[in-house]
Amino acid sequence: MAKVDAKLLEKISNFIESNGEEPLERLIDDYSVDRESSTLTILVNSGSHYIPPKYLVGEVFNFTEGGINTDKKELEVFVKTKLQVLSVKLREKNWDRINIIPTGHPMLSMHVTLMVYRITRKEPNIVCYFGNSGYREVFIEYRPILDV
């Protein structure tokens, strides 16, 4: 077993003091599995914003790119077509983790999130932009909340 030097222990202690134990545990868990092969990251609208590479984990799937036509009929056909393509991707394999980066129109992000849950029955990890705070991962397990 490798020895941990005092500087690293101090950094870990400072991190826990500032952020609590849970974020550190998630970091360790995230790096102890093969994230590349078991993670799907869905970029709802690519090209909208710069996404730091550390959030583009595993296989990256671009749901849409650029603007969308807001004509009612064309919009409905567009969204349904994109959701069909997404459904094929979601069924390709049993993803251990699914990240959603909700860029672009909120309506698209809502449909992507619903499709992910309906097909996989897994809660997605949402990677959101919080202005000056930058990007943050938000993962909520709903079953314990619903007491199911």
pLDDT single digits (tens) 3-12: 778 877 888 8
pLDDT single digits (tens) 36-74: 579 999 999 998 788 999 999 999 999 999 888 889 999
Count of other CB atoms within 10 angstroms of residue 65: 12
C-alpha closest to that of 125 among 102, 91, 93: 102
CA distance 112 to 115: 5
pLDDT single digits (tens) 110-147: 999 999 999 999 999 999 999 999 999 999 988 888 87
